[in-house]
């Protein structure tokens, strides 16, 4: 229960290492053909940032349109395309790869004590597939857009719309394989490449979270891929699986789509939780409370996440009896998430907490994810859901978990491991400001949407009754604040690449294996494969180690 | 380092154990079994068994898929971990079917 106080090392003496993965080789080709998981992580980081900016601009357009009750900024069918592209880009091209493909890619080998992922070439292939998928989706947008919503609802998508449904679906299909390959690589790496002494229960919880995510990626994504192929076939050849006049059933599409897409929301949160475990432990200087419970709750979420999808279909005409079962199961799936929250709170209890930027983002995660998760339980209640479904309440629910939860965790992770990835510190004062601005902007943007939804404002409409305007103005104003919060890191992080303070090996005095090597790491990660001779989060081990060690710089 | 070399050796040994050489007659046998089963499916489509039409066709298809996975994809000779991995896929598929069926079976029961 006790925390170990460790004094932070003096950063003025730290030097950048002469050799690292960043200057091992130069030139575009050395990046585009690399097998190094760290370089692929950087490639992913750059590409998802690109798509995040595009998705963000589309979000800005949505909020601008909703500033006034009338549909006056754009034509209503343009509005449909804008929110559809926003959802498709943010979910499939940003949130799904956000933490796993960048931070996870960079860290999983370092954390298990390996020199790379199990299949470096498949890892590179994953990035190429992601980029090709992204190009398809951009093409669909530039050629005139899609207006099905990110959910491709049939028969709208198969029979009634004239937009680039097939192109966008192919893009998602291809990007899906990028995510399957990432998952495959993680699972094999964790099984086969752990260093000597690294037992399953000595793995950092970050690795457990990613392991659980990978299970969903591998088992769930193929279902999405096939479902989208069926939509495309239905459009192109009229095969009739979703068409009642031919013996098909449009609800079958919903079953198949949500069979992936509910587990997928856990693809979009488990890696975030994985980040939070590391951050909380480091800045409380304590072992994560209930390590085993947190580890298994990740796996439980991955497994039970497959049993609840019908809660997206309660009002679609599914069987009442079946819906009852799914309602119960949905409430149960909130339990493992709650286990995590309680264990993190207990981790902080009596810790020596400090408030560096990653910790501020982690606090943001706590509050916002908890609200998001609990409103999910509201929605799981069938009676409530009839009133709230397809309103802004649902929009607020999933933005609390996906933006308030995952995006906060992503930014926590980027700041936390920035010194390791680049060898330099981000500027502390302005980044703290960014974390606070993001939190405030988030609340002002999305809290009013709960009220709007409760009052009955439907989602996906460009116009609304004048009564709702005040809350919508709040929401749009908040979005501008939020935008500033996200713009700040886009400026100061690149700035810090040149002007940031030199970080040194272990600026946070964290215990993970990744912190015991130089920053930025060598291409081969470890000069010698480490031997894990202590438990995870053992701050006493670290204190002893730093006492006996002269800082060496390679 | 010693410890590490040991695990590497160990992994190699394990790998060598997994590498099972399948003789051509086995492959040919499976191939012909698949052909025969395909013929059977085609044949059965001329016999009207009512609801059992689909059941029979699917049963034959499942049997064929199992042959492919077990022999062509070598799962029959693979480690327990790989068997479990395939099992997990199958299990997930069963979840998809069975939980979806909870809807289709009881949809006509009306409201409670
Ligand atoms: C913690 C427990 C959670 C529960 C009980 C829960 C429950 C629900 C329910 C019942 C709905 C359906 C609402 C409706 O359409 O009427 C829903 C929608 C949604 N949830 Fe959650 N949720 C939880 C966590 C999450 C997480 C962690 C994420 C993502 C990271 C998420 C993302 C979404 C999304 C994207 C939708 C809306 C999809 C759409 O229609 O576009 N949820 N949630
Ligand atoms: Cu769901």
In contact, A165 and A195? CB cutoff 8 Å? no
With a cut of 70, say whether residue B19 has pLDDT above it.
no
Q: Both tokens of residue A325?
A: 């079962």
pLDDT digits (tens, 9 = 90+) for A225-282: 999 999 999 999 999 999 999 989 999 999 999 999 999 999 999 999 999 999 999 9
Does B100 map to a domain?
Answer: yes
Cross-strand bridge partners of residue A391? A458
Does B32 map to a domain?
Answer: yes
Does residue B91 share a domain with residue B56?
no
Does A23 map to a domain?
Answer: no
Does residue B69 share a domain with residue B29?
yes
What is the mean predicted confidence (pLDDT) over A11-20?
81
Does A4 map to a domain?
Answer: no
Does residue B66 share a domain with residue B27?
yes
Sequence length of chain B is 112
Does B37 map to a domain?
Answer: yes
Does A6 map to a domain?
Answer: no
Does A223 map to a domain?
Answer: yes
Helices (H), ranges, A246-319:
250-267, 270-284, 291-304
Which candidate in B98, B99, B108, B112 is best for mutational testing of the A interface (most A CBs within 10 A)?
B99
Does A110 map to a domain?
Answer: yes
Of A258, A268, A256, which is closest to residue A301 (Cα–Cα)?
A268
pLDDT, residue B13, reads 42
Beta-carbon separation of A255 and B95 below 8 A: no
**Segments forming the whole domain that contains residue A435:** 33-553
Which ligand is closest to the CA of A313, given by its number? 1
What is the mean predicted confidence (pLDDT) over B9-28?
65
With a cut of 60, say whether residue A15 has pLDDT above it.
yes
Q: Side-chain half-sphere of A308: how many Cα atoms within 13 Å? A: 26
Beta-carbon separation of B103 and A318 below 8 A: yes
Among chain A residues, CA nearest to B109: A319
Of A136, A222, A226, which is closest to residue A184 (Cα–Cα)?
A222
Domains of chain B: total: 2
Does A249 map to a domain?
Answer: yes
Which candidate in A180, A184, A197, A219 is best for mutational testing of the B interface (most B CBs within 10 A)?
A219
Does B82 map to a domain?
Answer: yes
Does residue B103 share a domain with residue B57?
no
The percentage of chain A sitting over the pLDDT mark of 90, rounded to a whole number, equals: 91
The number of angstroms, rounded, from the C-alpha of A498 to the middle of its chain's C-alpha atoms is: 28
What is the mean predicted confidence (pLDDT) over A67-75?
94
With a cut of 60, say whether residue A8 has pLDDT above it.
no
Does residue B29 share a domain with residue B69?
yes
Q: Residue A259 is part of a domain; what is its CATH number? A: 1.20.210.10
Q: Is the CB of A151 under 6 A from ligand 1?
A: yes
What is the mean predicted confidence (pLDDT) over A2-29?
76
With a cut of 60, say whether residue B5 has pLDDT above it.
no
pLDDT, residue B87, reads 93
Contacts (Cβ under 8 Å, ≥6 apart) of B50: none
Is the minimum CB–CB distance between A223 and chain B shorter than 8 Å?
yes
Q: Both tokens of residue A421?
A: 């990835």
**Measured between alpha carbons, how far is A210 from A216 in angstroms, rounded to an integer?**
10
pLDDT, residue A554, reads 42
Does B40 map to a domain?
Answer: yes
Does residue B93 share a domain with residue B62?
no
Domains of chain A: total: 1
Beta-carbon separation of B4 and A531 below 8 A: yes
Element (H, E) at A486: helix A469-499
Does A388 map to a domain?
Answer: yes
- Average pLDDT score over chain A: 94
Rounded to a whole number, what is the distance in Å from the CA of B97 to chain A's nearest CA?
Answer: 10
What is the mean predicted confidence (pLDDT) over A185-196?
96
- Burial class, B54, CB count within 10 angstroms (exposed 0-12 / middle 13-18 / buried 19+): exposed
Is the minimum CB–CB distance between A320 and chain B shorter than 8 Å?
yes
Helices (H), ranges, chain B:
2-18, 24-44, 52-67, 80-106
* Distance from the alpha carbon of residue A36 to the mean position of ligand 2, in angstroms: 35
Does B4 map to a domain?
Answer: no
**Measured between alpha carbons, how far is A155 from A242 in angstroms, rounded to an integer?**
7
Does A28 map to a domain?
Answer: no
Of A459, A481, A455, A450, which is closest to residue A468 (Cα–Cα)?
A455
Is the minimum CB–CB distance between B48 and chain A shorter than 8 Å?
no
Beta-carbon separation of B4 and A192 below 8 A: no
Does B66 map to a domain?
Answer: yes
pLDDT, residue B90, reads 93
Which ligand is closest to the CA of A458, given by its number? 1
- Residue in the structure block whose two tokens are 């086995």: B26
What is the mean predicted confidence (pLDDT) over A173-189?
97
Rounded to a whole number, what is the distance in Å from the CA of B32 to chain A's nearest CA?
Answer: 29
Does B2 map to a domain?
Answer: no
**Segments forming the whole domain that contains residue B103:** 78-112
pLDDT, residue B50, reads 85
């Amino acid at each position: 229960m006790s925390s170990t106080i460790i004094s932070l090392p003096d950063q003025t003496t730290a030097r950048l290492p002469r050799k690292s993965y960043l200057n091992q080789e130069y030139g575009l080709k050395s990046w585009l053909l690399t097998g190094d998981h760290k370089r692929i992580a950087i490639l992913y980081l750059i590409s998802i940032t690109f798509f995040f900016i595009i998705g963000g601009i589309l979000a800005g357009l949505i909020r601008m349109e909703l500033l006034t009750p009338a549909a006056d900024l754009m034509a209503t069918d343009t509005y449909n395309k804008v929110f559809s592209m926003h959802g498709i880009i943010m979910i499939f091209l940003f949130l799904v790869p956000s933490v796993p493909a960048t931070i996870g890619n960079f860290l999983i080998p370092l954390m298990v004590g390996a020199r790379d992922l199990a299949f470096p070439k498949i890892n590179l292939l994953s990035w190429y597939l992601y980029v090709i998928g992204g190009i398809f989706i951009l093409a669909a947008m530039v050629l005139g857009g899609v207006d099905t919503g990110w959910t491709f609802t049939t028969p709208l998508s198969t029979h009634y719309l004239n937009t680039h449904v097939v192109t966008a679906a192919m893009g998602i299909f291809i990007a899906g394989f990028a995510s399957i390959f990432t998952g495959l690589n993680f699972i094999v790496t964790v099984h086969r490449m752990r260093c000597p002494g690294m037992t399953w229960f000595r793995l950092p919880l970050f690795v457990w979270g990613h392991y659980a995510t990978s299970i969903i990626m591998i088992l769930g994504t193929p279902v999405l891929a096939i479902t989208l192929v069926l939509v495309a076939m239905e459009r192109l050849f009229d095969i009739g699986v979703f068409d009642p006049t031919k013996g098909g059933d449009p609800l079958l599409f919903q079953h198949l789509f949500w069979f992936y897409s509910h587990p997928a929301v856990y693809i979009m949160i488990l890696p975030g939780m994985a980040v939070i475990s590391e951050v909380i432990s480091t800045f409380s200087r304590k072992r994560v409370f209930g390590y085993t419970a947190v580890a298994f709750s990740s796996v439980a979420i991955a497994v039970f996440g497959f049993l609840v999808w019908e809660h997206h279909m309660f009002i679609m005409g599914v069987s009442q009896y079946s819906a009852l079962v799914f309602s119960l199961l949905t409430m149960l799936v909130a339990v493992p998430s709650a286990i995590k929250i309680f264990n993190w709170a207990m981790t902080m209890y009596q810790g020596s907490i400090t408030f560096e930027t990653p910790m501020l983002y982690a606090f943001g995660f706590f509050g916002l994810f908890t609200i998001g998760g609990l409103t999910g339980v509201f929605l799981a209640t069938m009676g409530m859901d009839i009133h709230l479904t397809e309103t802004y309440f649902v929009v607020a629910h999933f933005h609390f978990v996906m933006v308030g939860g995952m995006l906060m965790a992503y930014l926590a992770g980027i700041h936390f491991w920035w010194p390791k990835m680049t060898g330099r510190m981000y500027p502390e004062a302005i980044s703290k400001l960014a974390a606070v601005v993001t939190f405030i902007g988030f609340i002002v943007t999305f809290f009013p949407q709960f009220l709007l939804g409760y009052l009955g404002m439907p989602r996906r409409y460009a116009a609304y009754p004048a009564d709702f305007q005040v809350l919508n103005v709040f929401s749009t104003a908040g979005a501008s604040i939020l935008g500033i919060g996200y713009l700040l890191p886009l400026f100061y992080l690149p700035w810090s690449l040149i002007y940031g303070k030199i970080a040194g090996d272990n600026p946070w005095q964290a215990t993970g294996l990744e912190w015991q090597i130089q920053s930025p790491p060598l291409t081969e990660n470890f000069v010698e494969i480490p031997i894990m001779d202590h438990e995870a989060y053992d701050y006493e081990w670290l204190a002893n180690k730093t006492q006996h060690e002269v800082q060496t710089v390679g | 380092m010693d410890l590490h070399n040991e695990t590497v050796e160990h992994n190699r040994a394990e790998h060598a154990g997994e590498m099972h050489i399948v003789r051509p007659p086995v492959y040919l046998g499976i191939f012909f079994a698949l052909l025969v089963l395909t013929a059977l499916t085609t044949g059965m489509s001329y016999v009207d068994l009512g609801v059992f039409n689909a059941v029979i066709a699917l049963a034959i298809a499942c049997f064929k898929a199992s042959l492919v996975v077990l022999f062509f994809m070598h799962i029959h000779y693979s480690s327990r971990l790989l068997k479990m991995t395939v099992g997990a896929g199958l299990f997930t598929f069963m979840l998809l079917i069975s939980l979806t069926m909870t809807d289709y079976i009881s949809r006509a029961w009306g409201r409670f």
